[in-house]
Amino acid sequence: MSGAGAGAKLDVWISRSLPEDFISKMNHVALLGRQNSKELTLYERLMLNIGTMMNPDPVARKEELKGFEYMDKSSIEPIVKLAKLFQQKQVPV
């Protein structure tokens, strides 16, 4: 879970967090979600504020501080398709 949508920023996070041989074999589906900053602990808000200062994107900074709501149940469709392929043993490797 990252809060970042699909794109270069998320790709960099993934490449820095996971081994290359793992990444080359995974099926990645980026899902947007929700962040309600009022539900975060003091420590989480502090870490978020520090991270936000390093984000060059003003729109993303605002969302990181104020929260966002991108829940969309239809966005899980790629996961449902992968699960069906897995059941049929047709998942691309």
User: Is residue 37 in a domain?
Assistant: yes
Cα 44–chain centre separation: 17
Query: How many separate domains does the chain show?
Result: 1
| Predicted confidence pLDDT, tens digits, the chain (93 residues) | 455 667 787 888 888 998 999 888 888 787 778 888 889 899 998 988 898 888 888 888 888 888 888 888 888 888 888 888 888 887 665
Helices (H), 25-68: 42-53, 58-66
User: Is residue 75 in a domain?
Assistant: yes
User: Is residue 72 in a domain?
Assistant: yes
User: Is residue 93 in a domain?
Assistant: no
Q: Contact, 38 vs 30, CB < 8 A?
A: no
User: Is residue 50 in a domain?
Assistant: yes
User: Is residue 63 in a domain?
Assistant: yes
Structure-derived torsion over alpha carbons of residues 31, 34, 56, 38, reported in degrees to the nearest 10: -160
CA–CA dist 7, 34 (Å, integer): 18
User: Is residue 2 in a domain?
Assistant: no
User: Is residue 67 in a domain?
Assistant: yes
Range of the domain at 17: 8-87
